[in-house]
């Protein structure tokens, strides 16, 4: 099977498995797991922030961030298709008791004017807006990128109004590699960042929440509240350390394979692939009478797995477990099933 559903399907590398087997461990709720402590120090240093926290998933890391930045009844400004709002089971409302305020963005990005327009003056009727969330790269916008300047422009507006800014950077290293910008520069203007070790970086699990020492100390308590305090978790943090050391630069290969897929599929009548920014290709099925689900089903029978993200749209995600040859085979399979 050629699995283009998501970069979450990546399996740990031999170096990761070796590091996991040999990891020094301790009880991380006591702060005594040396491997977790090293990973947290390394992640904070890489992003140019004071401290970081290892969490089981990106969803928990995002929701811990919201809980730590807000109080119940606050308003959280989010882009309307953002993962933190769209795909996290209503966690902003349910776990933090905060009110999400969705704002329609362009390719996942918000303009400074839109943020300004969403901010309301102090008034007895209005909730207290305390947090703005941005997503880089933007998942539902097909791996779209914000530059450091674009992030800073909206962060400045939010900060001027007293809001904090959280970046859902599940794939922030894809953005950094595609732009050729150090990741520390991309996150410089935000107060907290979540990134996933478990996607393109290929660790079996884990996400990091990164920010100031004071913020991370409070986030650690909220992680415990949500049941995310783990014990000898150095066994998986060890794979996360390998991910940061060995798996970032190679994301460029995934971006190259995404461009290869886009070029190949643009030759297939009945398909309209969008130009990728990073490791995702959105493909619109434009042959009358044929849905994305139809194409997905036929591709599966031909050994290619994809995800339908809309009635006429398939999402393809490249990652370390699909080679250039796999992508070429996928293009052939697409041509066969769409013309059949
Ligand atoms: C995958 C993803 C998450 C959540 O990560 P999980 O580890 O799957 O919970 C959050 N935000 C974005 C943009 C994602 O793509």
Count, residues in the chain: 340
Tokens 């995800």 sit at which residue? 307
| Residue-averaged pLDDT of the chain | 98
Alpha-helical runs (H) found in the chain: 14-22, 34-47, 58-69, 83-86, 91-96, 112-118, 148-160, 172-179, 183-186, 213-225, 234-246, 251-265, 292-301, 324-339
pTM: 0.97
**Going by CA atoms, what residue is nearest to atom 5 of ligand 1?**
58
**Going by CA atoms, what residue is nearest to atom 8 of ligand 1?**
58
- pLDDT tens for residues 243-269? 999 999 999 999 999 999 999 999 999
Spatial contact of 8 and 318, defined as CB atoms under 8 Å apart: no
**What pLDDT, on a 0 to 100 scale, did the predictor assign at position 260?**
98
**What end-to-end distance do the CA atoms of the chain give, in Å?**
20
Question: What is the mean predicted confidence (pLDDT) over 203-214?
Answer: 98
**Ligand 1 centre and the CA of 123: distance in Å?**
35
**Ligand 1 centre and the CA of 206: distance in Å?**
10
**What pLDDT, on a 0 to 100 scale, did the predictor assign at position 82?**
98
CB contact burial 228-265 (16+ within 10 A = b; e otherwise): bbbebbbbbbbbbbbbbeebbeebebbbebbebbbebb
Could you give the percent of the chain with pLDDT greater than 70?
Answer: 100
Question: What is the mean predicted confidence (pLDDT) over 309-321?
Answer: 97
The pLDDT-based confidence of 96 (bands split at 50, 70, 90) is very high
**Going by CA atoms, what residue is nearest to atom 14 of ligand 1?**
170
Pocket test for ligand 1, best of 10, 54, 87, 206 (most atoms within 8 A of CB): 87
**Ligand 1 centre and the CA of 8: distance in Å?**
9
- pLDDT tens for residues 282-299? 999 999 999 999 999 999
Question: What is the mean predicted confidence (pLDDT) over 137-162?
Answer: 97
Pocket of ligand 1 (CB under 6 A): 57-59, 62, 83, 135, 139, 168, 170, 196, 198, 207
pLDDT at 94 over 90: yes
Could you give the percent of the chain with pLDDT greater than 90?
Answer: 99
- pLDDT tens for residues 210-241? 999 999 999 999 999 999 999 999 999 999 99
Question: What is the mean predicted confidence (pLDDT) over 111-137?
Answer: 97
Pocket test for ligand 1, best of 8, 55, 56, 59 (most atoms within 8 A of CB): 59
Question: What is the mean predicted confidence (pLDDT) over 111-121?
Answer: 96
The pLDDT-based confidence of 340 (bands split at 50, 70, 90) is confident
- pLDDT tens for residues 16-66? 999 999 999 999 999 999 999 999 999 999 999 999 999 999 999 999 999
């Amino acid at each position: 099977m050629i699995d283009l559903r998501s970069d979450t399907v990546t399996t740990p590398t031999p170096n990761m498995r070796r590091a996991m087997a040999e990891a020094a461990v301790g009880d991380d709720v006591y702060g005594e797991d040396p491997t977790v402590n090293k990973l947290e120090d390394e992640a904070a240093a890489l992003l140019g922030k004071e401290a970081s926290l290892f969490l089981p998933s990106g969803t928990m890391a995002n929701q811990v961030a919201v809980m730590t930045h807000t109080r119940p009844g606050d308003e959280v400004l989010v882009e309307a298709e953002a993962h933190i709002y769209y795909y996290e089971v209503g966690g902003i409302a349910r776990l933090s008791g905060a009110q999400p305020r969705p704002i329609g963005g362009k390719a996942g990005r918000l303009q400074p004017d839109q943020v300004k327009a969403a901010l309301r003056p102090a008034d007895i009727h209005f909730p207290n807006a305390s947090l703005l969330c941005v997503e880089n790269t933007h998942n539902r916008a097909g791996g779209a990128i914000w530059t450091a300047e674009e992030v800073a422009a909206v962060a400045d507006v939010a900060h001027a109004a007293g809001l904090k800014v959280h970046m859902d950077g599940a794939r922030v290293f894809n953005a950094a590699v595609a732009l050729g910008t150090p990741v520390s520069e991309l996150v410089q203007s935000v107060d907290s960042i979540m990134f996933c070790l478990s996607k393109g970086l290929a660790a079996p699990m884990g996400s990091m929440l990164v920010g100031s020492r004071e913020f991370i100390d409070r986030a650690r308590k909220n992680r415990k509240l949500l049941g995310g305090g783990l014990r000898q978790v150095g066994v998986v943090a060890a794979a996360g350390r390998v991910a940061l050391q060995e798996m970032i630069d190679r994301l460029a290969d995934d971006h190259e394979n995404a461009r290869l897929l886009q070029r190949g599929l643009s030759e297939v009548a009945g398909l309209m692939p969008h130009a990728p920014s990073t490791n995702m290709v959105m493909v619109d099925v434009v042959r009358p009478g044929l849905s994305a689900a139809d194409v997905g089903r036929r591709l599966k029978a031909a050994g290619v797995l994809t995800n339908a993200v809309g009635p006429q749209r398939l999402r393809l995600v490249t990652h370390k477990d699909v080679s250039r040859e796999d992508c070429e085979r996928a293009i052939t399979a697409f041509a066969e099933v769409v013309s059949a």
